[in-house]
Structures are given as C-alpha cells and as structure tokens.
A and B are shown apart, each in its own frame.
Chain A
C-alpha cells in the first residue's frame, strides 16, 4: 500500500471502523511512513473539531413542539386533500367505484364520443342550412327570377347557437386541461 491509498482510510482508522485486516495493513504502512503519521494526526484533530458540532443543540422549544407541529401540518394536509378538485367533483358524479384504468379509459371514450357527436351535429346543421337555403332559393326563384339570394354557406355555423355543443366542448376542454395540469388522480 502506498501513501495515497493509505490516506483514504485515515478517517476510518481514526473512527475505528475498519476491519482488523484493513487496520493491520494501514498500521503496517504508518509504521514505516512518518509523513502519513502526521497526516493521520491532522485527520484526528479535524474529526475532534468537527465533533464539537454535536454540542450545537436546538432549544427545548424545538423538542417540545416538534410533534405537535407535525400533527398540525398533517391535519392541514388532510383538510386540503378533502377539498375536492374539479375532476374529483366530476368523478364523484359518476361514482361507480371502478378501477382507475377503466375510469381513465371511460373518460377518454366519453371525450371521443362527445367530439363525434359534435362533428355529427355540425354536419347535420350544415345539411339543414343548405336545405333551407335551397328552399329559400327555390321560393325566391318562384317569386322572382331577377333577385336570387345566396345559399347559406357552411362557414356560417356557430357553436354559440347550440347550447348542448357548448356544454360538450367545455367538458372536453376541462378534461383535457385537467390532464395537462396533472390534476386528474386515478
């Protein structure tokens, strides 16, 4: 063993935490190396100095109130946990006591179904508006062949005219934003 290797073990030698074999090897080196003996002495002094820090103690107030403070914080956390999040309120509405994976899948399926419903609704509206526009066109045409009104364009559709669609969109938005914010807890 050389000096560099031996020095890594001085602290453990000083704290008597080496095995007998390891200690014998280090002591064997120390017996023949004056420089390492000085190094060991420095480490021992430093350890003694650092050990003084064990005498820095918090006040009795800390010891007396620690557990009480822990209980207080725990209570605050439980109270906070009991305040339901938006998702928890939604989930409690459908409180079927299902496994988390099924609930998650169900939420996604519901969102998908709502989107499909929205798409179908938009499609039906566009067809009906085209039909009414055509009827109007036909009526106008029958009344006057000179003033033809334009058929209603598909882009005229606005979701604001369909309360059920607004509700569905909001619902989907809530669910997706809840996912984005990691609010959902399954």
Chain B
C-alpha cells in the first residue's frame, strides 16, 4: 500500500464507517489493522489516537526536544500509514510501530547538526511519585527539590549516552518494555539489548550520582 490517491482519499472518510467511538475503541490493534488492510483507511485515526502519546514519548526522550519530537511523530505515523499494507501480525503492532519510530529517530539524530533541549512541563503527578519523595530525603539534593534542575540533569544525562544505549534505556526504563520486545524493535538480539542496558546504567549512575 502506498500513497496512491485512492487510498489517501479513503483516509479522509469518517473513521470506522460511522460506528460509535466506544465500539471502535474496544477493537484490538490487530482488528483495526485488518480493517485498514481491507480498505477502511479511516480506521488509521484510531491507531493514531491510541499510540501517539507513547510514540511521542519515545522520540521526545531520544531527542530531548519537544518540537523535533512532535514533527518526527508525524513522520512516524506517515511512514506507518504507507507501510501498513505490508504489516504482518506476527509482531505486536506497537512493537512494529516503535521500530519505525526508533529508526526514524536514529536517522534524524545522525543528520542533526546541533541539539538543544526543549523540555515539556512536569505534570501534577510528579510530586506523588515515591522516587521523587525519596529525593527530598537525600542530603545532596535537599528538602526542596529543584524540579527544573532535576529535569535538566536527567535529560542531559540521557543525551550523553550513545543513541543505541539511549534507545534501550528509553524503551526499558521509561516505556517499560521487555528485552524481547526491545530486541524486535531495535533489530538486535536480547543479549545485545541487555548488555547495552547494563553499560548505559553504569554511565547514568555516574552522571546522576547526586540523585542516587
């Protein structure tokens, strides 16, 4: 499936042929993909709504820049839309989508000439996190955690990792993926993913010693 006009035009039809949103939201990714592959292109909207947050988060944590992450997220869904005809359901849809996201991001990072952090705001849930409360008990941090500084240090530390190591940290420690899924998303072996994570952790422990 490519960007042929007929397919793209179908995309602009209302999703799921007028079915209610509730019924649509109960569909699994595979069922939605099956509908898309049978010509109901509007169903792709559901996949976007379902996965845009996580795709964005992966890219944002890789590039450390909100504007680039938003732009690359669009590219990822555009590529996924064009390639979805060739998707086979042996892999989870989100693993397949993450693979596109990671490849798109790695290609972008290779060509990026200069980088600067452009960070999102912390949400209200941060103060509730046990890990955040624990920070306040650390002598090196003090009872009033400087949230801005913490955010900057975290992001700077991540950016100091190699792209391959950063990808494993983002997928495992932030996105909560298992090594088996990470290996599929990155196109490497589980042992490689495990090894990269180990060395990335060692480096991060050194860079974030103040907070540990």
Contacts and interface: CB of A to CB of B under 8 A. Distances in A.
Nearest to A82: B5
Contact of B70 (A7, A43, A58, A82): A58
B96 interface: no
B113 to A, nearest CB: 24
Contacts, number: 127
A164 to B, nearest CB: 37
A43 B125 CA distance: 23
A100 interface: no
B129 A52 contact: yes
Nearest to B135: A49
Nearest to B130: A48
Interface stretch (B21-29, B32-40, B49-57, B102-110): B49-57
B154 interface: yes
Interface string A58-88: 1100110011011101110110011000000
B74 A62 contact: no
A50 B173 contact: yes
What DSSP secondary structure best describes chain B's contact surface?
helix
Given A12-B179, A70-B48, A82-B5, A50 B174 contact: yes
Given A57-B123, A74-B8, A11 B77 contact: no
B134 A46 contact: no
* Size category of the binding interface on chain A: 35 or more
Interface string B82-102: 000000000000000000000
B123 A55 contact: yes
A49 B154 CA distance: 8
B211 to A, nearest CB: 6
Nearest to A47: B173
A42 interface: yes
29 contacts: A15-B172, A17-B178, A42-B205, A46-B212, A47-B173, A48-B131, A49-B135, A49-B154, A52-B126, A52-B129, A53-B61, A53-B155, A54-B174, A55-B122, A55-B125, A55-B126, A57-B122, A58-B56, A58-B60, A63-B52, A66-B52, A66-B74, A67-B48, A69-B74, A71-B12, A74-B81, A77-B3, A77-B8, A78-B3
Interface of A: 7-12, 15, 17, 42-43, 45-59, 62-63, 66-67, 69-71, 73-75, 77-78, 81-82
